[in-house]
């Protein structure tokens, strides 16, 4: 987390730097398209073909919606879905705001459409939800000049972390609603995660402030010394190993820059400005990643880079958004020559 964060804070701490980062992520998403297409048909085979090691053994988790969920060179298909969601979101906003009209000599609109199609073929329903939420946030800013949806999402994240870390959350209160919304299969998977988080949370609260460290004490074992716990979400891993101090530090470093960005530096009415649009969509993408960390632990250093860049940006006064008019060069006027004779 630390090195990517400081790289972003040192070298991408202005609107131009964040623009380059946004374009780079968009290019990375385009580069991943052929790999996701291959694995969508053949299954997660590329890691084995290139490196000779099968990094993803549970093919049952990769089978989704009549095809395969691509894994490519990442740890899990959910991580690929989150990456492609971020790239598709950035491409959509750069196109809609006119920030980027061409990329590598090609019009951006067809590239964005292809990228969105490739993203939906990643078969990650969680990433679909994040994409829809992010578009709602961005177009609310564009049409209504408000960042309230984004602030509401961040408020939900903070509220959930508080009640879950303090032991006040019970999955029994919400499972009925989740089952009616997502179906029995998805609800049972989510219930298993909640049940694991409850027993892991009980263990973490034994060392509430600073956690168990990396000794493995945050895990839950049976009478025979076997580890019976499964950790799916980043928040419970951080809470167990680093305690409430580590949990607050990590999530504050990810969310606070975005809060300052939208409340005190660049309000929602400026997010459609081509100079601000890349930074705005990166802030929204970072918030979606933090939302995902409540359920999953798909760590990707690019989000730490984004957090560092936005942190460096908001520490400075807002940059001028006025377009400088090009001044015409002064005309050279020759002095009149006296008439001869």
Q: How far apart are CA 252 and CA 257, in angstroms?
A: 8
The CA distances from residue 290 to 3, 24, 130, 261, 325, in Å, are: 19, 21, 11, 16, 40
On whether residue 331 sits in a domain, the answer given is no
Cα angle 330, 336, 340; round to 5: 160
Q: Do 292 and 130 contact (CB within 8 A), yes or no?
A: yes
Domain assignment of residue 212, given as a range = 2-314
- 340 located within any domain: no
Of 42-46, 78-82, 175-179, the poorest mean pLDDT is in: 175-179
In a domain, 330, yes or no: no
Kindly report the length of the chain: 341
What does the alpha-carbon distance between residue 282 and residue 310 come to, in Å, rounded to a whole number? 8
State residue 244's pLDDT score.
94
- 3-state DSSP assignment of residue 123: coil
Per-residue confidence (pLDDT) for residue 318, from 0 to 100: 86
pTM of the model: 0.89
171-193 average pLDDT score: 72
Give the chain's domain count.
1
Tens digits of residue pLDDT in 280-336: 999 999 999 999 999 888 889 999 999 999 999 999 988 888 765 545 555 665 555
Mutual angle of helices 108-120 and 77-96, in 10-degree steps: 150
Q: Is the pLDDT of residue 50 over 50?
A: yes
**What's the 3-state SS for 47-103?**
HHHHHCCCCCCCHHHCEECCEECCCCCCCCHHHHHHHHHHHHHHHHHHHHCCCCCEE
Residues 231-265 pLDDT 10s = 888 999 999 999 999 999 999 999 999 999 999 99
Question: Concatenated DSSP letters for 292-312?
Answer: HHTT-----HHHHHHHHHHHH
If you average pLDDT over every residue of the chain, what do you get?
87
Tens of pLDDT, residue by residue over 206-234, are 998 988 888 778 888 887 778 878 788 89
Q: Are strands 63-64 and 67-68 parallel, antiparallel or unpaired?
A: antiparallel
Q: Is residue 334 part of a domain?
A: no
* Higher local confidence (pLDDT), 192 or 241: 241
Listed residue (12, 37, 36, 35) closest to 24, CA to CA: 12
Q: Please provide residue 152's backbone torsions phi and psi, each rounded to the nearest 5 degrees.
A: -65, -45
In a domain, 319, yes or no: no
Please report whether residue 333 resides in a domain.
Answer: no
| Element housing 107 (H / E) | strand 106-107
């Amino acid at each position: 987390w630390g090195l990517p964060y400081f790289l972003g804070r040192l070298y991408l701490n202005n609107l131009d730097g964040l623009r380059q980062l946004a374009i780079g992520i968009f290019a990375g998403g385009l580069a991943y398209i052929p790999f996701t297409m291959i694995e969508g048909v053949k299954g997660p085979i590329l890691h084995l073909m290139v490196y000779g090691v099968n990094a993803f053994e549970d093919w049952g988790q990769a089978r989704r919606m009549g095809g395969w969920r691509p894994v490519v060179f990442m740890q899990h298909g959910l991580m690929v879905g989150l990456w492609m969601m971020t790239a598709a979101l950035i491409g959509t906003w750069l196109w809609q705001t006119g920030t980027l009209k061409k990329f590598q000599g090609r019009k951006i609109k067809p590239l964005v459409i292809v990228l969105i199609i490739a993203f939906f073929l990643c078969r990650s329903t969680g990433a679909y939800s994040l994409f829809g939420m992010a578009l709602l946030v961005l177009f609310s800013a564009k049409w209504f000049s408000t960042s309230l949806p984004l602030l509401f999402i961040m408020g939900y994240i903070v509220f959930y972390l508080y009640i879950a870390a303090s032991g006040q959350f019970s999955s029994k209160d919400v499972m009925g609603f989740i089952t009616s919304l997502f179906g029995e299969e998805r609800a049972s998977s989510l219930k298993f995660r909640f049940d694991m988080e409850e027993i892991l949370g009980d263990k973490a609260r034994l060392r509430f402030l600073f956690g168990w460290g990396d000794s493995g004490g945050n895990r839950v074992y049976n009478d025979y010394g076997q580890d019976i716990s499964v950790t799916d979400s980043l928040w419970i891993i951080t809470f167990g190993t680093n305690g409430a101090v580590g949990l607050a530090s990590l999530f504050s470093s990810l969310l606070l820059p975005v809060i300052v960005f939208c409340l005190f530096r660049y309000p929602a009415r400026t997010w459609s400005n081509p100079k601000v649009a890349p930074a705005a969509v990166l802030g929204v993408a970072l918030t979606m990643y933090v939302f995902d960390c409540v359920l999953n632990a798909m760590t990707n250093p690019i989000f730490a880079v984004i957090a560092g860049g936005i942190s460096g940006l908001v520490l400075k006064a807002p940059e001028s958004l006025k377009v400088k008019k090009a001044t015409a060069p002064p005309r050279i006027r020759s002095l009149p020559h006296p008439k001869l004779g």
